[in-house]
Amino acid sequence: MKKDLLSFKDWTRSELEALLTLAMQIKAHPHAYRSALDGLSVVALFEKPSLRTRVSFDIGIHKLGGHMVYLDSQSNKLVGREDTKDMGANLACWADAIVARVFAHSTLETLASAAKVPVINALCDRYHPCQALADFLTIRERYADLSKVKLAYLGDGNNVTHSLMLVGVALGCEVIVVSPKGYEVDQEIVALSKQRAAQFGGKLTLSHDPNAAIGAHVLYTDTWISMGDSTPLEQIKDTFAAYAINENLMSRTGADYVMHCQPAHRDLEISGALIDSDKSLLMQQAENRMHGQNAILVSLLAKNFKAQL
């Protein structure tokens, strides 16, 4: 039976750890995996712009011996031309997997139920699982024991935050989410994350006060306005200013590192100097997008592949 990756919300701690181990193995021994997707084709369908996700999937699939077809829904007007259900069923006639970046999570669910091949979420309104996997791979490379790590996210409670919560607490981390009033994370995902924390050993703390990040090892932020949200920056800038990650917050919290999924807005949610500093993990995160996604592809499409290490 095919397995989709729409979110990590039902992945156990040991399944996530196994995926991280595979990602580290692929990163360390890329040649051993260069035929893992031999003869397989992946369609990547994007309703929104992308730099990192698009390029890391394309190059990553090539490195595994597979082939990617990019479908740009924005310029090709694919959305609305036919039912998503029909699009999914047609794509599955040729492709061995569908990677999709969409506005609504329900579009992914429709694609997944119509397509007989795995569907991988490349970002939707609720989740960004590929990002969270790369992020915890990055943190794992800095801290051997994830159960001793405190990660503080500051800013808009969004798709990236949701995935960090769901994955982080299951890996045993303490995840602290600090958002302005009115920009909190989804309550249903909070409840699920707390349940996962109790089951797998992590902890979730929510706050409106940036001081809640004091003592965190890593500070993380994302854009204050996500793709598809037409709120003018001027309208929210003052509300979010106290949540910006800058040198002052780094020294107040005592954090070792700063993270951002990117695209970043220099001197808004994060200071430009921090991005360029030795406390920045941003490029390591970006590189790890490819290794994490390749682990996802191998585990969904080539589970029985035997790497020649």
- Nearer to ligand NVA among residue 15 and residue 229 (C-beta): 229
Binding characters for ligand NVA, 123-142, by CB under 6 A (x = yes): x-------------------
Residue pair 252/219 in contact by the 8 Å Cβ criterion = no
Residue pair 216/255 in contact by the 8 Å Cβ criterion = yes
Q: Which amino acid, one-letter code, is at 198?
A: A
101 is annotated as an active-site residue = yes
Binds ligand NVA (CB under 6 A): choice among 36, 87, 160, 164: 160
Catalytic residue among 54, 101, 126, 196: 101
DSSP string, 128-162: -HHHHHHHHHHHHHH-S-GGG-EEEEES---HHHH
Binds ligand CP (CB under 6 A): choice among 110, 262, 280, 294: 262
- Nearer to ligand CP among residue 27 and residue 54 (C-beta): 54
Q: Which helix (H) or strand (E) holds 240?
A: helix 233-240
Residues 48-107 that bind ligand NVA (CB under 6 A): none
Which of ligand CP, ligand NVA, none interacts with 51 (beta carbon under 5 to 8 A by kind)? ligand CP
Angle at 218 between CA 8 and CA 236, to 5 degrees: 80
Tokens of 303: 């589970």
Q: CA-to-CA distance for 104 and 47, rounded, in angstroms?
A: 10
Report the DSSP beta bridge partners of residue 259.
220
Q: CA-to-CA distance for 232 and 243, rounded, in angstroms?
A: 18
Catalytic residue among 261, 285, 291, 293: 261
Residue pair 20/137 in contact by the 8 Å Cβ criterion = yes
- Nearer to ligand NVA among residue 135 and residue 222 (C-beta): 222
Residue pair 174/149 in contact by the 8 Å Cβ criterion = yes
Catalytic residue among 128, 140, 196, 291: 128
Q: Of the ranges 45-53, 108-116, 176-184, 292-300, which one interacts with ligand CP (CB under 6 A)?
A: 45-53
Binds ligand CP (CB under 6 A): choice among 9, 13, 27, 52: 52
Q: Which helix (H) or strand (E) holds 170?
A: helix 159-170
Question: Three-state SS for 258?
Answer: strand
Residues 111-140 that bind ligand CP (CB under 6 A): 123, 131
Is 236 a binding residue for ligand NVA by CB under 6 A? The answer is no
Binding characters for ligand CP, 66-105, by CB under 6 A (x = yes): ----------------------------------------
Binds ligand CP (CB under 6 A): choice among 166, 177, 197, 261: 261
Binding site for ligand NVA (CB under 6 A): 123, 158-160, 222-223, 226-227, 261
